Structure 1
Amino acid sequence: MIRIEIQPRWRFHQTDGSSLDPQGLSLLQNVHDSGKLTEAAARSGYSYRHAWNLLGKWEAFFGSPLIELQRGKGARLTSLGEKLLRADQRIRARLAPQLDNLAGELEIELNRALQETRPGLRIHASHGFAVAALREWLEQDGRWQWELQFRSGVEAMLSLQRRDCDLAGLHVPAGPLGNLSMARIQPWLRTEHRVITFVVRTQGLILAPGNPLGIAGLADLQRSGLRLVNREQGSGTRMLLESLLQQAAIDTADIDGFHNEEYTHAAVAAYVASGMADVGFGVEAAARLFGLAFIPIAREHYCLLCHQDSLALPAMGALLEVLQNPEFQARIAQLPGYALSRPGEVLPLAQALEQWSRESLL
């Protein structure tokens, strides 16, 4: 089974024609994580001398120091070092879905040509931490050629309607708010649809460490000068925020940055971490990944939706086995803000919605 991984790679250039290879970014990341240049060098696979020379080359190129060494206190990134690191994190978070989709398409073509696997399931779902973990776990099963493409919630529903996929990711807020969310995609829902339960996740406000602006809730998004970074139109998270604002009678026109969009939870968090926005809306796991503050606002079920006849597909049993695997469930349980919700249980859509509507929003 051939696997393909595509990673972004960027290079710095000066007007005089000089350039700089980005290999020093991993060293900056490890300095940030460890607080020690010696340990950062070891983690990067460099000798201390090579790491020191690499930093010298970078600092000469930019004309400014990237780390500060303090006697007895180790090393820390300067403001410029932090900005370079945050820029790299934003690039990776923003491009991850597109690059993963492209890698998946190439994998399918190559492995079909090699005839090494049987066709698995076509899954279209929004990019998220639990879905990414599911993809990694499925790829360990070399018997099947899984096709997991990252799509917005609306795009996934359209794919399911056209039979371009076998399973679509579906976000359903807990409590009565779920009915409002479902009304937005009602044209694509069918009585024969079946829900495969997966996880419950917590969504909320992503803020700078320590919440220096004292943001307390959604009403503060209307505050003058407060900059929001949002998810893209059609995503389940964007629809959840719109439903919450509608419920609270908050006009989106009063929110600075409401139409400033990123395509993943991690990209939203990276945007806030870089200081380009004061607040974002997304899952807790993204906030914790970047060391940011988080205010929980709502719980939502993240499940997989399929046509009833798709349950008979040969690979469906393998998927359900993964969802019910205790080791996989333990992996999901480690994600901040995620909780298992009887993963792998199959329910009629109407029954699932009725159950979730009786739950509390938070």
Structure 2
Amino acid sequence: MQIEVCPILVFKDSLGGKNSIDLNWLARLLDDIGNGSSLVEASKKSEMSYRGAWGKLNEAEDALGIPLVVRTKGHGSKLTEFGVFLIQFIHQMQVGYRDSGQMHQNILLKEIKKFQKTESVKWKFLSSSDSIIQKAVGEVKGIDLKIAGSGESLERLLNNEAHIAGYHVSDEKSSKAIHHRLSKNDIEIFPVMRRVQGLMVKKGNPLNIRTIYDLVNRKVRFINRQIGSGTRLLFDTLLLIEDIAPSEINGYLQEEFTHSAVANAILAGKADVGLGVKNIAIENGLGFIPLRDEVFFVAMKKEMLAQSEASKLIRKIRSYSSETPGYKAISLNRQIAGWL
């Protein structure tokens, strides 16, 4: 970044109005005229239109009450004696200003950079993939969101590599265990919304998929989520409950990193089914078979609570989830009694 502090000439009229002219610009214009350039040529060099330069020159002359340039038809423009003096005055002022002015310019630039750095500080928010989370963050300045699995988000928060973490769980036992660990590390947990996870399928469900058991069919192409994501953990838990080996699922090792990416894979014909949230299926015109409700939490260090961005983020998430299909806002711990 480069800045330049320039001296200006300020004019005040009898009515209290003000106008100003950059003295560096005026000196360059007068210099060019004094060296034989016409006003047309001088105005071009000063990167201003002839009409604009002439107007500025007239303003200066009217305010000073002294002509700076004599315009003679057929003979161009010449500097008056005062015009010559004004150039010398500005040059002498610039010589004295150069040292002190540079010092003040450097001080100003240093402060600008310092405040720019302060203003650009971001609170790091790692969260499991969710469109409500992304929408809410987009309306809260100062928060930098990175999509990561629930597990990674929590570990980064515990290791002081993030200020906020978003994660989701689908059973009370897991939720209690996570809550216990976070609480021991002075981390506050806020339930923000319920959402529905299920199987996203092609419109009309041409393969008539109804349950997890229907995935045990080599003709059915599944698309999975990445290891460490809450959705992947949910899917593995469901397989364990139903006593289905991962090797029986065609596509178990094929992974995507967001719910939207899974939906896009199905739309593109790369897969027939994948696990995801209801609202993504609705947005993409896909069929949806609900499997499990889950609770989404936002966790943060206690010192983060004093930041206005934190409370605003939580309010935004709860607000959007209350009006989005497949979600339900949670604002009180008693709404999920037994999970914490």
Could you say which TM-score interval applies, normalised by the shorter chain?
A: 0.5 to 0.7
Gaps of 5+ in 2: 1-111
Tell me, in whole angstroms, the C-alpha distance in 2 between the residues paired with 1:337 and 1:112. Answer: 45
Distance 1:254 1:121, change over 3 A: same
Specify the structure having the higher radius of gyration (Cα): 2
Does 1:154 pair with 2:160?
no
Distance 1:112 1:278, change over 3 A: farther
Q: Indicate the structure whose relative CO is greater, using CA pairs within 8 Å and at least 6 residues apart.
A: 1
Does 1:121 pair with 2:115?
no
* Number of positions where the alignment pairs a residue of Structure 1 with one of Structure 2: 228
1:137 Cα deviation (Å)?
A: 1.7
Give secondary structure in 2 for the equivalent of 1:211: coil
**Corresponding residue for residue 330 of structure 2:** 341
**Corresponding residue for residue 163 of structure 2:** 166
Matched letter for residue 126 of structure 1:
S
Contact 1:123 1:148 in 2 (8 A): yes
**Corresponding residue for residue 23 of structure 2:** none
**Corresponding residue for residue 71 of structure 1:** none
Deviations 1:210-263 (A, max 9, x none): 101111111111123211001111011111111122122221111110111001
Matched letter for residue 145 of structure 2:
L
Contact 1:232 1:238 in 2 (8 A): yes
Give secondary structure in 2 for the equivalent of 1:155: helix
Contact 2:151 2:167 in 1 (8 A): no
Tell me, in whole angstroms, the C-alpha distance in 2 between the residues paired with 1:111 and 1:119. Answer: 13
Tell me, in whole angstroms, the C-alpha distance in 1 between the residues paired with 2:216 and 2:126. Answer: 34
**Corresponding residue for residue 314 of structure 2:** 323
**Corresponding residue for residue 90 of structure 1:** none
1:186 Cα deviation (Å)?
A: 8.9
**Corresponding residue for residue 88 of structure 1:** none
**Corresponding residue for residue 356 of structure 1:** 339
Tell me, in whole angstroms, the C-alpha distance in 2 between the residues paired with 1:212 and 1:137. Answer: 39
Task: Give the RMSD, CA atoms, in angstroms.
Answer: 2.9
Gaps of 5+ in 1: 1-109, 140-144, 358-362
**Corresponding residue for residue 308 of structure 1:** 302
Contact 1:161 1:188 in 2 (8 A): no
Contact 1:195 1:352 in 2 (8 A): no
Deviations 1:163-214 (A, max 9, x none): 11111112121xxx3425776x799644233211211110000001010111
Distance 1:121 1:196, change over 3 A: farther
Matched ranges for 1:1-362 at <5 A: 114-115=116-117, 117=119, 119=121, 121-139=123-141, 145-173=142-170, 177-180=171-174, 189-191=182-184, 192-311=186-305, 313=306, 315=307, 317-324=308-315, 329-342=318-331, 355-356=338-339
Tell me, in whole angstroms, the C-alpha distance in 2 between the residues paired with 1:309 and 1:353. Answer: 25
Matched letter for residue 266 of structure 2:
V
Matched letter for residue 260 of structure 2:
A
Contact 1:111 1:117 in 2 (8 A): no
1:333 Cα deviation (Å)?
A: 3.0
Tell me, in whole angstroms, the C-alpha distance in 2 between the residues paired with 1:279 and 1:273. Answer: 10
Deviations 1:108-138 (A, max 9, x none): xx99772462745321112211111111121
Contact 2:143 2:309 in 1 (8 A): no
TM-score (structure 1 length as normaliser): 0.57
Tell me, in whole angstroms, the C-alpha distance in 1 between the residues paired with 2:132 and 2:310. Answer: 14
Give secondary structure in 2 for the equivalent of 1:197: strand
Matched letter for residue 127 of structure 1:
S
Distance 1:111 1:213, change over 3 A: farther
Distance 1:112 1:206, change over 3 A: farther
Tell me, in whole angstroms, the C-alpha distance in 1 between the residues paired with 2:256 and 2:127. Answer: 16
Give secondary structure in 2 for the equivalent of 1:137: coil
Contact 1:231 1:238 in 2 (8 A): yes
Tell me, in whole angstroms, the C-alpha distance in 2 between the residues paired with 1:127 and 1:212. Answer: 28
Matched letter for residue 356 of structure 1:
W
Contact 2:173 2:339 in 1 (8 A): no
Matched letter for residue 207 of structure 1:
V
Q: Kindly, what percent of the aligned residue pairs are identical? A: 28
